[in-house]
Structure 1
Amino acid sequence: MSSRHRWAIAIWAAVLLVGCASTPSPQEGARLSPEARDYLTEALDLMQQQSLHRAEVDWKAVRAQAFDRAGEARTPAETYPAINGALGALGDHHSHFFPPAEAGEADGGPDVVNAPTARQLPNRIGYLALPSVNGSDRTYAEYVRQGRAAAAATDRAGACGWVVDLRDETGGGMWAPLAVAGPILGDGPVGGFVTPDGKRAVWSIRGGVPYQDDSPQASAEGVTPLTVPNPPVAVLTARRTGSAGEAVTIAFIGRPVTRSFGQQTFGVPTGNAPHRLSDGAVIVLTGAAETDRTGRVHDGPIHPDEEIDTPARKGTDPTLDAATAWLSTQPACKS
């Protein structure tokens, strides 16, 4: 799973300019130049103030190790290994550092649309595959447009229930796949973010559109209500389902007549925000945990209701077979 896949869950913050670092103690970074020392302090202060696990970190040790690793750094760039080391010590496995030359990746990367696909399976079961998506607003809009159109066409063909396949949702933006899945999820709260100090941001679906609190996260253009409202849904996950894929997985947890199949997810169900440092580098910092609609906070891999580790051989898909077998037993698909 690439770093790009793993960072880009957008939360309530956009880009924070971190300009004022605290004054380090005389012992911290005594061998560094003043410029390098202030820069490393700036980054460490950000982590200490806003990281998800900040209360569990031995900051005295982390800071001492970072300044020791920076050695005799003269420039901000020479402190980058120390910053990466400190991020690794946070324990969230989701924060990431982008030097100035790579900072554009923190804004989404190139415009390549890997569009959702949908089709009808036997027994009138609809199938929707939601791959990962990353890029600009234009990329997300095109992903949503194509995904909504594909899902609507499958629904018109007659879908009594749905398989939502997240096995290739390895991370990126969470709102575009939620916008495609919105009509299947149904209106109402579906999850949220929570920070260590208890601040919450609620995810919901309204008229098929995903919201964070009262802010729509996608256009309503192309939203098509389902022919069969509130259908049974089978969610497919794999070990590569991560970050944004885990957010979509969480959105289905607690939904009525819904069951998940496959393997446990990657294990980073957390919210990140980008923070720009004084030289243009960006720290994408994990600052929030994710909760499902019941209020349960998720930490680590998400286990499906029915774990299936049978390897798929050519022409077979045991996870999909188990999901369609369950859907076929549901009243909506029996009639």
Structure 2
Amino acid sequence: MSTTAREYLTRALDLMEAASLLRNKTDWQQLRADAYKNATGAKTTEDTYAAIKASLRQLGDNHSFFWDPEQAKVGTEATTAHFDRLSSHLLAGNIGYLSIPAVGGSKRSAVNYVRQGREALQEQQKVARCGWVIDLRQNTGGNMWPMLTVVAPILGDGDVGSFVEGDGTKSTWSIRNATALLDGKALPWGRGTPLEFPDPPVAILTDGHTASAAEAVLVAFKGRPDTRTFGLSTYGVPTANEAYPLSDGAVLGLTGARDADRTGRIYDGPIAPDQEISTSPLGRGTYKDHTLRAAQQWTASQCAAPKLRGQLTPQRPQVSPPGVSSRVQTAGPEPGFRGHAGHGGTGR
């Protein structure tokens, strides 16, 4: 192995040993020996990529990742101007529906996402008097912070979750004045707008593609009053990654913490819904969307509870396919905070 290749591989292994969530449960002597063996004959940094990926698999956290320089450029610089599934509409019974898709790429993409998402929420919030349905199905993750920023007004003020490292160190997610914060530090997208009807009932929809950053959003709603989840168990990587640039432009993403909800419960695998219901992808948003139907019915029943008297009387629940959406084209920065990656976005 050339000096260049050995130094590069050693740097990657040093980062893994220093930052991995499972660093205290890993046989580093064996992992390093295997890595150097796998890189036998390597002359360039590129020749070590396979060995690095094999080492990440040995770590066993199922979320760490490696991007070669081209993948890293796409993952951090690609810009999305408009998110097709980031939209809202009003369901029968004065219930708001908000679809939250994945987001990754550049800082500009994050700003676009936040602006479009806030517009979507604002368009319905004056009429969504009986609660909200938040759809996280098919959301494969990416950057959790734009997502959390969009749903912040619905979450309500207070601590909503945290990252928990292997040694127990915590970083707290919170909402203040409808704005998301990490350890009290505000994100760079300005203040949110509180709901016209605060503390609403909320139904969350998930499926087997709800992953990573989307699971973090789900965790933020766990333990919230008047909240219920519907659908299928999530993908199972409710853990936080941090991205480390390497000398040739590649990026090493390492899982360094688990997600915990506001009660302190730590998540480390698929998150089961309160009510398991299966809906074919082809039925989503139609009268065959059994998951949405159940969520809407539950939300309507909560609206009829005494604490919501004075709001509009809910109509008989009917599943409404997406109607008037609040899709607005906006134009980036993504914060340099710890977050989620490996399923469609940048790291923390």
TM over 0.5: yes
1:125 matched residue in structure 2: 95
Q: Aligned match of 1:166 in 129, 136, 143? A: 136
**Aligned-partner Cα distance in 2 for 1:113–1:57:** 42
Query: 2-side partners of 1:114 and 1:35: how far apart?
Result: 42
Q: Deviations over 1:91-122 (max 9, x none)?
A: 11111112223322342533343152111101
Aligned to 1:76: 45
Change in 2 beyond 3 A, CA 1:158/1:301? closer
Distance 2:245 2:129 in 1: 46
**Pick aligned residue for 2:232 from 263, 267, 275:** 263
Contact 1:310 1:318 in 2 (8 A): yes
What is the aligned partner in structure 1 of residue 160 from structure 2? 190
2:106 maps to a residue whose letter is S
| Alignment pair present for 1:96 and 2:68 | no
Moved more, 132-141 or 178-187: 132-141
Q: Deviations over 1:18-74 (max 9, x none)?
A: xxxxxxxxxxxxxx2222222211111111111111122222222121111111112
List per-residue Cα deviations over 1:205-226 (Å, max 9, x = no partner).
Answer: 11111100121124235x3221
Q: Which moved more, 1:311-320 or 1:176-185?
A: 311-320
Amino acid corresponding to residue 173 of structure 1 in structure 2: N
RMSD: 1.7
Equivalent position of 1:287 in the other structure: 256
Q: Distance in 2 between matches of 1:171 and 1:150?
A: 19
TM-score scaled by structure 1? 0.86
Separation in 1 of the partners of 2:279 and 2:248?
A: 49
- Unaligned runs of at least 5 residues, structure 2: 315-348
Whether contact under 8 Å (2:205, 2:292) holds in the other structure is yes
CA distance 1:313–1:98, change in 2 (3 Å): closer
1:179 corresponds, among 146, 149, 158, to 149
- Corresponding position: 1:243 with 2:215: no
Provide the residue aligned with 2:104 in structure 1: 134
C-alpha deviation, 1:313, in angstroms = 5.5
What is the count of residue pairs matched by the alignment? 303
**Unaligned stretches of 5+ residues in structure 1:** 1-31
Matches within 5 A, 1:1-335: 32-107=1-76, 109-114=78-83, 116-221=86-191, 223-311=192-280, 314=283, 315=286, 316-330=288-302, 331=305, 332=308
CA 1:312 to 1:36, structure 2 compared with 1: closer, same or farther past 3 Å? Answer: closer
Q: In the alignment, is the contact (CA less than 8 A) between 2:75 and 2:105 conserved in 1?
A: no
Aligned residues of 1:270 and 1:286 also touching (Cα < 8 A)? yes
Counterparts of 1:37 and 1:131 in 2: how far apart (Å)? 40
Q: 1:112 to 1:66 in 2, by over 3 A?
A: farther
Asked if 2 retains the 8 angstrom alpha-carbon contact of 1:208 and 1:220, the reply is no
CA distance in 2, matches of 1:64, 1:217: 42
CA deviations 1:264-283 (Å, max 9, x no partner) are 11111111111122233210
Contact 1:179 1:218 in 2 (8 A): no
Using the alignment, how far apart are the partners of 1:45 and 1:83 within structure 2? 11
Distance 2:301 2:139 in 1: 27
Instruction: State the alpha-carbon separation in 1 of the partners of residues 262 and 232 from structure 2.
Output: 22
Residues 225-271 of structure 1 deviation map (CA, whole Å, 9 limit, x = unaligned) = 21211010000011101111001000000000100000111111111
Moved more, 305-314 or 89-98: 305-314
1:264 aligned partner, one-letter code = S
Alpha-carbon separation, structure 1, partners of 2:289 and 2:270: 22
| Cα drift, residue 312 of structure 1 | 5.8
